[in-house]
């Protein structure tokens, strides 16, 4: 991608995601990720978007105006984005690649975070740590992060989610909120590493997938290539049996994934590249607001 093209794309993503994080997510993000099990420190006047569960009723009654409790870490949260940059993300049969959607979602989360004065750090991973960007604040930092995600050329095409989660446990010394953004195509089991990490950190997973992964169209002979191994083969999509097997495989994979997240106490949401990710993020935030 040319530099000017990347900058244009970054600008477009910034305009779209900034608007989203200001108008839609500010309140939800705040109540979903702030003050969960933090030490109480002071009270301040209620502001639009504050979680009503944080209202201090004694102080509110005394001053006849709503006041909320402020928690020690509420003023500065560290948000870590674990972003999958493996080969399988360079796939897309609808209007965008999985990689592009992942970058947009990550940007939306990043802009939501800086509005709350939080720090954002990024771990770009394949089956190795491709790049680690330590947590920092500010718009300039976020634009750098988006640029990196759009233009990054990974050394490896394969995926190892467990290794990335383990790296998070090592580098993030204090409790943080972490989002794992991936299609979760991995041959390695990551339940153990996720369980350890989720005991220390607040983790949410966002799965981005292509609609073809769920359902194959009936288009006759189709050449398919495994983006991570480079293995190519032809499949006959006119075979009902094959299409059924493909759909069954997807359901089975999703079921295993769901069980893993439930076991590890990790909130998660799944979004296809032809769907509106805003709805999925709202769903994730709502899930967390009630958990």
pLDDT tens digits for range 96-147:
778 888 988 998 888 888 777 789 999 999 999 999 999 999 889 988 998 8
pLDDT confidence of residue 211: 81
pLDDT confidence of residue 103: 87
Expressed as residue numbers, the domain containing 58 is 35-72
Q: What residues contact 1, with CB distance under 8 A and at least 6 apart?
A: 9, 150, 151
The percent of residues above 70 in pLDDT, for the chain, comes to: 78
Mean pLDDT of 244-251: 81
pLDDT confidence of residue 242: 77
CB-CB contact of 121 with 135 (8 Å): yes
Examine the pLDDT at 21 and tell me if it is beyond 70.
no
Examine the pLDDT at 288 and tell me if it is beyond 90.
no
pLDDT confidence of residue 6: 62
Question: Domain total for the chain?
Answer: 2
170 and 62 in a common domain = no
Q: Give the HSE-up count for residue 210: Cα atoms under 13 Å, Cβ half-sphere.
A: 18
Q: Give the HSE-up count for residue 192: Cα atoms under 13 Å, Cβ half-sphere.
A: 4
pLDDT confidence of residue 232: 73
pLDDT confidence of residue 262: 94
50 and 103 in a common domain = no
pLDDT confidence of residue 35: 47
Q: What is the CATH number of the domain that holds 144?
A: 3.40.50.410
Quote the mean pLDDT of the chain: 82
68 and 155 in a common domain = no
121 and 50 in a common domain = no
pLDDT confidence of residue 93: 58
Examine the pLDDT at 289 and tell me if it is beyond 60.
no
Last residue of a domain, one of 16, 44, 72: 72
- pLDDT digits over 83-110, tens only? 999 887 765 555 677 888 898 899 888 8
14 and 107 in a common domain = yes
52 and 148 in a common domain = no
Q: Which tokens in the block code for residue 174? A: 């204090």
260 and 218 in a common domain = yes
Report the distance separating Cα 270 and Cα 252, nearest Å: 15
Q: Where are the beta strands (DSSP E) in the chain?
A: 40-45, 67-71, 78-84, 119-125, 129-136, 177-182, 202-209, 221-225, 232-236, 267-272
138 and 57 in a common domain = no
- pLDDT digits over 255-284, tens only? 999 999 999 999 999 999 889 888 888 888
pLDDT confidence of residue 214: 72
136 and 53 in a common domain = no
How many other C-beta atoms can be found within 10 angstroms of the C-beta atom of residue 147?
17
Examine the pLDDT at 180 and tell me if it is beyond 50.
yes
148 and 104 in a common domain = yes
243 and 159 in a common domain = yes
pLDDT confidence of residue 182: 95
- pLDDT digits over 235-244, tens only? 666 778 877 8
pLDDT confidence of residue 233: 73
Examine the pLDDT at 37 and tell me if it is beyond 70.
no
Report the distance separating Cα 116 and Cα 261, nearest Å: 27
- Residue with the larger pLDDT of the pair 73 and 154: 154
Report the distance separating Cα 64 and Cα 9, nearest Å: 49
pLDDT confidence of residue 25: 61
Examine the pLDDT at 194 and tell me if it is beyond 80.
yes
Cα–Cα nearest to 264, from 185, 166, 198, 177: 198
53 and 23 in a common domain = no
pLDDT confidence of residue 91: 59
């Amino acid at each position: 991608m040319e530099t000017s093209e990347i900058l244009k794309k970054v600008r477009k993503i910034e305009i779209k995601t900034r608007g989203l994080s200001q108008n839609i997510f500010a309140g939800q993000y705040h109540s979903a990720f702030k003050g969960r099990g933090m030490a109480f420190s002071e009270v301040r006047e209620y502001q639009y978007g504050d979680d009503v569960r944080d209202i201090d009723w004694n102080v509110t009654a005394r001053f006849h105006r709503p006041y909320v409790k402020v928690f020690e870490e509420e003023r500065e949260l560290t948000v870590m984005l674990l972003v999958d940059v493996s080969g399988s993300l360079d796939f897309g049969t609808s209007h965008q690649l999985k990689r592009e959607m992942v970058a947009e979602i990550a940007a939306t989360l990043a802009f939501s975070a800086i509005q709350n004065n939080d720090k954002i750090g990024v771990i770009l991973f394949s089956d190795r740590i491709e790049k680690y960007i330590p947590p920092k604040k500010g718009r300039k930092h976020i634009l750098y992060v988006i640029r990196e995600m759009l233009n990054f050329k990974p050394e490896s095409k394969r995926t190892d989610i467990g290794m990335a989660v383990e790296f998070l446990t090592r580098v993030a010394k204090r409790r943080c909120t972490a989002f794992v953004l991936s299609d979760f195509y991995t041959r390695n089991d990551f339940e153990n590493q996720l369980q350890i990490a989720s005991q220390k950190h607040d983790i949410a997973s966002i799965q981005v997938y292509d609609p073809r992964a769920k359902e194959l169209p009936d288009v006759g002979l189709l050449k398919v290539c495994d983006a991570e191994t480079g293995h190519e083969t032809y499949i006959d999509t006119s075979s009902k049996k094959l299409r059924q097997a493909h759909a069954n495989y997807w359901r089975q994979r999703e079921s295993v994934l769901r069980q893993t997240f439930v076991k590890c106490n990790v909130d998660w949401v799944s979004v296809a590249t032809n769907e509106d990710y805003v709805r999925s993020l709202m769903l994730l935030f709502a899930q967390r607001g009630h958990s």
